[in-house]
Amino acid sequence: MPPVDLIVTDATVLTHTEPAAPGYPDDPAARRATAVLLEHHDIGVLDGVIAWVRPTGTTPEAERAGARALDGRGRLAMPGLINCHTHSAMTMFRGSAEDVPVHSWFNDHIWPMEVNMTPRDVALGARLAIGEMLLAGVTTFADHYFSMDEIAKEVSAAGARAVLAPTYFSSEGPAGLDRSAAFAAEWHGAADGRITAMLGPHATYTVDDADLERTARIATELGVRVHIHAAEGMFQTDSSLESRGVTPMQVLHDTGVLEAGAIIAHGAGITPDDVRWLAPVADRIGVAACDKVYLKHAQQSTTPVRLLHDAGVPVGIGTDGPASGNTLSVLESLRLLALVEKQKEADATWLTSAHALDLATRQSALTAGLGDRVGALLPGRRADVVLVALDRPHLQPLHDVAAALVLSVQEADVRTVLVDGRVVVDEGRLTTIDVQEAIDGLTARVPQLRDRSHGRRIQDYAP
Amino acid sequence: MPPVDLIVTDATVLTHTEPAAPGYPDDPAARRATAVLLEHHDIGVLDGVIAWVRPTGTTPEAERAGARALDGRGRLAMPGLINCHTHSAMTMFRGSAEDVPVHSWFNDHIWPMEVNMTPRDVALGARLAIGEMLLAGVTTFADHYFSMDEIAKEVSAAGARAVLAPTYFSSEGPAGLDRSAAFAAEWHGAADGRITAMLGPHATYTVDDADLERTARIATELGVRVHIHAAEGMFQTDSSLESRGVTPMQVLHDTGVLEAGAIIAHGAGITPDDVRWLAPVADRIGVAACDKVYLKHAQQSTTPVRLLHDAGVPVGIGTDGPASGNTLSVLESLRLLALVEKQKEADATWLTSAHALDLATRQSALTAGLGDRVGALLPGRRADVVLVALDRPHLQPLHDVAAALVLSVQEADVRTVLVDGRVVVDEGRLTTIDVQEAIDGLTARVPQLRDRSHGRRIQDYAP
């Protein structure tokens, strides 16, 4: 083989995960999810792509000559984490709307404050978010927000990977969808392929069926998917059934959105009956689960992971925006989901740590529409790699690596992060962006951002 | 005033919390919990005690001369965190019994493995635990385990503070209680007052009423309290009612344990009717809530925080042992509890971040029986102080300090930790103990510790 340009040496490598079979654990014959861990292995990277994963010491000198070496001893190499649903720039509102129910969060706090927001605020908010995510091992994020050009520029500069969907409402008339489509035409595949575009209709209750149909048509023409809030809780499904006799999933089906391919944000109101709409398109959709936010907003329903699992529909991990979730840590979201699932299903054997890792890697990549590019450390995949220090006191002794990653790890254990083989976090330090500038800029803007004296809001929340 | 020997300069100081009034939030007149935050303040420490908290720049030179200064700029100074219920040495089993229900956790995994454990294993496990806790800002822990002399020596050497209760079962005959009492007689007030002893009957289902009565009598004679597992879930309360017609709380009342004073570990099976036993002794008891473990073991009941709050009974934060909870982080436990409470009560306005901080500081100190010594940065309290970096990307911009501490902070944001005014963590490094030695020692012991071929267990779990 040709020489590589970068090698991670002598790490414990989480190459990929093997999913649990449907029916598990009701069917005792079904196998458990497995995280495939290789001790004392090297990862060779050439031109941003994983060339090989081999036992340490087995690569000929000729194939190693001149390559940059990253010491993996005492470290776990895992696929870059994927945040399947967020509003990154809302770092600017982190902690500004606390201890309120969801209708008040929108109508009394966030939607009035978003009136004040400038494109520069979005740029700074996104830069801070990208820094926070990279430091926590999140190499890809699926974003849904305003001023998306600003966010795309920040992604490009930071060397991160992102799936970007500009948000629009039907209340804007055709302008919103046109803007989202123009963004996709301009940015899809940009930043050396690190930017993937999607269309971003806000939700099934703020974008009407005609606009959803047009969205699906344009998405198909452009070769992109759709990212949309739908069935965020069972209360929305109930409301949709009452007012129009169909579930939000059926709306997505009937308007062609599912056929086009979609990230379904939340889906906590997906019903067993909805599987009929979702299962046939399981190759092009995924549901982003953000359990921290459901708990914080006292929502009684959470994403039905087991139902979706048994239907073969991918479930990805999201954080939601930091104004509701307070962080952008996929590790935190994953841990919460694993714990919540066990209690919700009244089954401590459900959602094992290996299964949780499958959600955070393979299934999150599928959800984000990047199943063939990221989510596994296998030859041919992009070299998005996170090195986690395993020698920390809170992980030791190391009986079970998967459990350590899901239930014990801390974000600061993420030491070094690669995107497309480029070091974007080096021993806990960001190498590509200045987040302090973003923090200072946003801190100075806090009084104006919080001003609600204008009495306006960008929308009314009445799902 | 006389000169102090240490000053934390120019910090944001969380001096103390003001609890929410009972009835909140059903009673709109009831005030919310408040975290009292003072910006640009200094903390003076003399002989391990907080001498004063003053605005920066207001202390005369004569009172500062010769004092060691710790730079508090960009940092929050908060009371050392208190872990109200753990089994610290079970770090040795972290990750060894995953994805199993609680009866299997005990009978198939932990109690067979504990047969293999030596006093040296306990010493190493405790040392690792103390290091992990200090690094996460936990200055005090309430421990319930075996070979407690070994743990006491580790606490003493590390400079930590602890409330130590040697575990015993009635199956041991009188030897168990005698051993626990002898420990209390020897160690209560040791390590310059940093060790507080309690008696440690395992649980209401493993220690019979006669032994509980004797426990209460001896505790009162020795001037110590009792630390006991009770009503760990509603299933135990149901079982107790069915087999003997009384709840575990009534057992604690009838045997005199409540009158003697107690940490009630878990109490997730406490009923509204139990308040009659608890409210009259609210000045000497507290309930340690460990929500992560309830979720992980798929338990359907969690500690009834609102019921206890309205009854005036302190609720402290615990992690439980790291073989079930996987970490010893009070910050993590606190976050989970705050989120779980909102969802459980279907009320996003319940358990505000300020209220959560009251649980983690003032109420945890009361629960641990140290309400007059720690839990607040006020003159006269022991100088157990944690400095948290507030400038981290995931905390910024800082709209709400309390929300940041409860919902965004990471353990690694804890930079410097004092116990009795002594620096035990200095910029993220432990200054008093070598945890690597403990990690290496335990790692070497893992194969023997996991051996279950002997077919024995230390007890049978059948609550």
Q: Tens digits of per-residue pLDDT, B131-144?
A: 999 999 999 999 99
- Bridge partners (DSSP) listed for residue A42: A54
* Residue B427, Ramachandran bin (φ over 0: left; ψ between -120 and 50: alpha; else beta): left
pLDDT at A32: 81
> What domains are defined for chain B?
6-79+376-430 (2.30.40.10), 81-367 (3.20.20.140)
Q: Would you mind telling me the total number of residues written for chain B in this entry? A: 463
pLDDT at B24 over 90: no
pLDDT at B29: 62
List, in sequence order, the alpha helices (H) in A345-405.
353-358, 364-367, 401-403
Q: Which of A154, A3, A43 is nearest to A418 (CA)?
A: A43
CA distance B66 to chain A (A): 35
- Strands in B81-86's sheet, in edge-to-edge order, are B81-86, B138-145, B161-168, B195-201, B225-230, B262-266, B285-289, B315-317
> H-helix or E-strand containing A230?
strand A225-230
CA distance A196 to chain B (A): 25
Task: Say whether residue B57 is in contact with chain A using an 8 A CB cutoff.
Answer: no
Q: What pLDDT, in 10s, does the model give residues B322-362?
A: 999 999 999 999 999 999 999 999 999 999 999 999 999 99
> H-helix or E-strand containing A41?
strand A34-46
Give, in degrees to the nearest 5, the angle at Cα B252 between B122 and B330: 45
Enter the tokens of residue B429.
């490094």
Count of CA atoms in the C-beta half-sphere (13 A) of A282? 15
Task: Say whether residue B199 is in contact with chain A using an 8 A CB cutoff.
Answer: no
Instruction: Tell me the CA distances in angstroms from B130 to A271, B317, B431, one per residue in order.
Output: 46, 17, 12
Contacts of B447 (CB under 8 A, 6+ apart): none
Q: Which chain A residue has the Cα nearest residue B413?
A: A412
Q: Which of A234, A227, A201, A222 is nearest to A83 (CA)?
A: A227
Instruction: Tell me the CA distances in angstroms from A407 to A353, A394, B255, B438, one per residue in order.
Output: 8, 10, 38, 21
CA distance A297 to chain B (A): 5
Q: Which of B41, B37, B45, B86 is nearest to B364 (CA)?
A: B86
Contacts with B350 from chain A: Cβ below 8 Å: 298
For the segment B389-416, the average pLDDT, to the nearest whole number, is 98
d(CA A396, CA B208): 36
Of B99, B299, B408, the CB nearest to A327: B408
Is cis: bond before B25, omega within 30 of 0?
yes
Of B131, B297, B340, the CB nearest to A348: B297
The amino acid present at A143, given as its one-letter code, is D
Q: What pLDDT, in 10s, does the model give residues B206-239?
A: 999 999 999 999 999 999 999 999 999 999 999 9
Q: Do B403 and A326 touch (CB under 8 A)?
A: yes
> How many separate helices (H) and strands (E) can be counted in chain A?
19, 17
Contacts with A348 from chain B: Cβ below 8 Å: 99-102, 296-298
Burial tier of B60 (Cβ tally within 10 Å: 0-12, 13-18, 19+): exposed
pLDDT at B325: 97
The amino acid present at A39, given as its one-letter code, is E
Distance from the first to the final alpha carbon of chain A: 57
- What was the ipTM of the complex prediction? 0.97
3-state secondary structure of A180: helix
Query: Helix crossing, B209-222 with B174-187: angle to 10°?
Result: 20
Q: Which chain B residue has the Cα nearest residue A342?
A: B298
Contacts with B346 from chain A: Cβ below 8 Å: 298, 300
Contacts with A295 from chain B: Cβ below 8 Å: 339-340, 342-343
Task: Say whether residue B90 is in contact with chain A using an 8 A CB cutoff.
Answer: no
Window B:385-414, CB contacts with A under 8 Å: 391, 393-400, 403-404, 407-408, 410-412
Window B:300-319, CB contacts with A under 8 Å: 300
d(CA A72, CA A55): 12
Q: Do B352 and A99 touch (CB under 8 A)?
A: yes
- Counting residues of chain B whose pLDDT is more than 90, the rounded percentage is 95
pLDDT at B278 over 80: yes
Q: Do A98 and B297 touch (CB under 8 A)?
A: no
d(CA B153, CA B120): 12
Q: What pLDDT, in 10s, does the model give residues B252-268?
A: 999 999 999 999 999 99
Instruction: Tell me the CA distances in angstroms from A353 to A349, A368, A400, A402, B370, one per residue in order.
Output: 10, 21, 9, 5, 37
pLDDT at B183 over 90: yes
Contacts 24+ apart (CB under 8 A), A24-28: A24/A309, A25/A347, A25/A349, A25/A350
Q: Which of A337, A329, A328, A375 is nearest to A19 (CA)?
A: A375
Of A93, A300, A352, the CB nearest to B99: A352
The residue of A343, A352, A446 whose CB has the most chain B CBs within 10 angstroms, and thus the best one to mutate to test that interface, is: A343
Q: Do B393 and A132 touch (CB under 8 A)?
A: yes
Q: Where are the beta strands (DSSP E) in B323-439?
A: 385-389, 414-419, 422-426, 429-430
Contacts of A54 (CB under 8 A, 6+ apart): A41, A42, A44
Q: Which chain B residue has the Cα nearest residue A302?
A: B343
Q: Which chain A residue has the Cα nearest residue B301?
A: A343
The residue of A93, A299, A396, A427 whose CB has the most chain B CBs within 10 angstroms, and thus the best one to mutate to test that interface, is: A396
Contacts of A245 (CB under 8 A, 6+ apart): none
Q: How many CB atoms sit inside 10 A of residue A57's CB?
A: 9
Q: Where are the beta strands (DSSP E) in A380-436?
A: 385-389, 414-419, 422-426, 429-430
Contacts with A131 from chain B: Cβ below 8 Å: 393
Q: Which residues of chain A have pLDDT under 50?
A: none
Q: Which chain A residue has the Cα nearest residue B296?
A: A339
DSSP A297-344: TT-S----HHHHHHHT--EEE----HHHHS---HHHHHHHHHHHHHHH
Is-above-0.90 flag for pTM?
yes
Are the beta carbons of A318 and A121 closer than 8 angstroms? no
Window A:120-149, CB contacts with B under 8 Å: 128, 131-132, 135-136
pLDDT at A462: 86
Contacts with A93 from chain B: Cβ below 8 Å: 399
- Bridge partners (DSSP) listed for residue A45: A6, A50
Rounded to the nearest 10°, the torsion over CA B415, B418, B422, B427 is: 0
The amino acid present at A408, given as its one-letter code, is S
Q: Do A408 and B93 touch (CB under 8 A)?
A: no
pLDDT at B28 over 80: no
